[in-house]
Amino acid sequence: MNTVKTFFLMVVLSALLLLVGALLGGIGGVIFALVLAVVMNFSAYWFSDRIALKMTHAVEVTENDDPELYSIVREQASLAGLPMPKVFEIDSESPNAFATGRNPNHATVAVTTGIRRILTRQELGGVLAHEMAHVGNRDTLIMAMVATVAGAISMLAMFAQISAMFGGMGGRSRDNYIGLIVVAIVMPIAAAMVRAAISRTREYQADATGAQTSGDPLALASALQKLEAASQNKPLKVAEGASHLFIVNPLRGAGMAKMFSTHPPMEERIRRLQNIKPNF
């Protein structure tokens, strides 16, 4: 169900991009929008992981640096049937974790130093199972592509804003001028809503997959409960554009309107996990 919903929402997001292109320049605008999306997606495919790690100030650690963490990551990767990812650490008291990488063979998981202080080994295992689920489900690539398409829409909206300020491109008619206003104001909002909805869907799926591979959904549910409370008391200093990567919203602004939230309601995530039967 989550996969079908994700596919539908990605179709909607792509349609928004094409509509923006059409409103800006007809067939030529559609072609330009497609080219822009291809270029941005190519860049995201190759560089999104490096950008994410740089934005979060994550530092790679070796097995000698942290053998226990490596042991838990290796265990969850094995349970998920995935290659061992690279392991990074973020120096922050705010407890959180994320995964990135274009495919399972080029994956990275990152945890904050704070997460190690509040979770048990089983709970941290549940968190890393969730992150490995993102890797196995190709969510890291999906969300990078979604972000680039939404970014392309925002970029075209900026062009529309500039054009509208100068009375439209090439002496447009009143209807076309209204089209520019729609592109400039409505489309970025619609794209942000769709992007957030896709992110929430992938979080639900990663919870379910991680619970199945680890065999301990209650450990993940317990971890989420602790992380939600602690991360709100100690928000992680990270760019808003990277906040969707984390297992719980790292920003204090979690009270934002539900339709723009990149994370599902924590109560619902925990309820779903508690309804999954453990595999032991």
pLDDT at 88: 97
pLDDT at 253: 54
- pLDDT tens across 36-74, in order? 877 877 777 788 888 889 989 999 999 999 999 999 999
Task: Tell me how far apart the alpha carbons of residues 138 and 146 are, in angstroms, rounded to a whole number.
Answer: 12
Mind telling me the catalytic residues? 131
Q: Give this prediction's pTM.
A: 0.84
Region 148-156: mean pLDDT is: 82
pLDDT at 280: 58
Residue among 223, 213, 222, 221 at smallest CA distance from 76: 213
Mean pLDDT of the chain: 85
10 Å CB burial of residue 10 (0-12, 13-18, 19+) is middle
Do the Cβ atoms of 136 and 80 come closer than 8 Å?
yes
CB atoms within 10 A of CB 170: 8
- pLDDT tens across 87-140, in order? 999 999 999 999 999 889 999 999 999 999 999 999 999 999 999 999 999 998
pLDDT at 254: 46
Residue among 149, 137, 239 at smallest CA distance from 194: 149
CB atoms within 10 A of CB 43: 13
Region 26-30: mean pLDDT is: 81
DSSP state of 246: B
Place of tokens 């204090």: 252
- pLDDT tens across 229-261, in order? 998 888 888 877 788 889 998 876 544 456 678
Q: Name the packing angle between helices 67-80 and 121-136 (round to 10°).
A: 50
pLDDT at 21: 81
Name residues whose C-beta falls within 8 Å of residue 61's C-beta, 6 or more positions apart in sequence: 69, 87, 88, 89
